[in-house]
Amino acid sequence: MANVSIDNLADAIVSAVREYTEEVSEAIEAKAEEVAEAIRETAAQDAPERTGAYKKGFKVTRQKFADGRVRFVVWNKKHYMRVHLLEFGHALRKGGRARAFPHLRPAYDRHVKELDEGIKRIIRNGGGR
């Protein structure tokens, strides 16, 4: 890009911005996947253990949208209906409430700062980590 004629300057700028945007997008997606995996590990580690099947069910799913956005969802594949009941507690049949075992939200809160800082670093470095 050192020797660009004035006629091709606009094309060169557009090309450079497009390249920067693609590199930053790819790096942010990789960082988001890394943090989602860390959240999954922490949630599984902090989850209540009775038989161990609930802990093993946590997965990370990548959702890609038509407009290019990507979202990573941490969920329990086998016991997805149980997550809400354990996270927040629930009413019991005989009256009273079952105690809550918060594990997913604390894992998210612990790792979301890492994602924010990582995205800032990626943008500052132009796509580099």
Task: Look at residue 63 and give its three-state secondary structure.
Answer: strand
Distance of alpha carbon 89 from alpha carbon 102, whole angstroms:
9
pLDDT digits 0-9 by tens, 36-90: 999 999 999 999 988 889 999 999 999 999 998 999 999 999 999 999 999 999 9
pLDDT confidence tier of residue 11, bands split at 50, 70 and 90 = confident
Contact 103, 87 (CB under 8 A): yes
pLDDT on residue 5: 78
Task: Look at residue 97 and give its three-state secondary structure.
Answer: strand
Mean per-residue pLDDT for 105-114? 95
pLDDT on residue 2: 66
- Whether the per-residue pLDDT at 121 is higher than 60: the answer is yes
- Whether the per-residue pLDDT at 1 is higher than 70: the answer is no
pLDDT confidence tier of residue 129, bands split at 50, 70 and 90 = low
